[in-house]
Structure 1
Amino acid sequence: MKPELLESHSVFPTLDMRRTAAFYEEKLKFRVVEYLDVAEPHVCLYRDSTEIILTQSNGQKVIPNRELYGYGYDAYFITKQQEELEQELIDAGVTIVRSCHHSDYNNKEFVIEDIDGRWIAFGIKQG
């Protein structure tokens, strides 16, 4: 059997793990599990089959990919219900930076900005 990649977890360094975790819990409905009393403190955020791992940035400001490299998202999550999820996040007060659209690479997606300035896309390849 050929090896197959099944899922991906994003790792987000942040200045304040609890502040970032609260944003994801309150606005994006992620479940928060803290592992702060371990050798490498971190917070895990869970929603459906997606996980985000928050780590301490040791005083370094989060610099989104678009600022570092001129373009690019900081994470891309796959979903088939873009419109419903986008509306859920709009209702929660999340900043939408690109409304649901068809990209030039044939994905249907929308993009949010998180509390640390990261741009995160939600979408899927079309036909």
Structure 2
Amino acid sequence: MSLMEISCIFPVTDIKKTACFYVSKLGYKAVEYLECKEAHICLYRDKTEIILLQAQTKNIFPNRELYGYGYDAYLYTDDQEKLEKEFLEKGVKIVKPLNVTDYKNKEFVIEDIDGRWIAFGLKIKD
């Protein structure tokens, strides 16, 4: 037995607007399940999945606002330079440019349309 994959689940205030951002700016494909009992949109890019849920509240609070620090998701990629360039060309807000962290990850961080910080990186091998 092993764990296979993980999906990020993001409650959002405007599910269609957030899905549009992920499709147009981050290159995801959207599959809508808006007629289901628990309406949601699944976003797919390569081996990642993000599930958007329509929040029943007016405000969304990213981890750094709730807890004082922290990203809302960490997605692994082996070509950070290419991905960061792609996002910059599409006008995505980069809040931390590509660098090597003190915990030895090569990463950059974006801010999505809802204020979430999402890191893209990978551990540097010794």
Q: TM-score, normalised by structure 1?
A: 0.96
Match of residue 50 from structure 2: 52
Partners of 2:4 and 2:120 lie apart in 1 by 17
Corresponding residue for residue 38 of structure 1:
36
Shift of 1:60: 3.6
Structure 2 match to 1:123: 121
* Residue type of the alignment partner of 1:13: P
Question: Aligned equivalents of 1:67 and 1:104: distance in 2?
Answer: 23
The separation in 2 between residues aligned to 1:6 and 1:125, in whole angstroms, is: 19
Alignment equivalent of 2:9, drawn from 3, 8, 11: 11
Which of 48, 63, 66 aligns to 2:64? It is 66
Q: Distance in 1 between matches of 2:20 and 2:63?
A: 23
CA distance in 1, matches of 2:101, 2:2: 26
Unaligned runs of 5+ in 2: none
Deviation, structure 1 residue 104: 1.2
What is aligned with 1:78? 76
What CA RMSD, in Å, does the superposition of the two structures yield over aligned residues?
A: 0.8
1:94 alignment partner in structure 2: 92
Distance in 1, Cα, partners of 2:82 & 2:111: 18
Residue 15 (structure 2) pairs with residue 27 (structure 1)? no
Q: What fraction of aligned residue pairs are identical, expressed as a percent?
A: 57
| 1:103 counterpart (101, 104, 109) | 101
Using the alignment, how far apart are the partners of 1:70 and 1:110 within structure 2?
Answer: 19
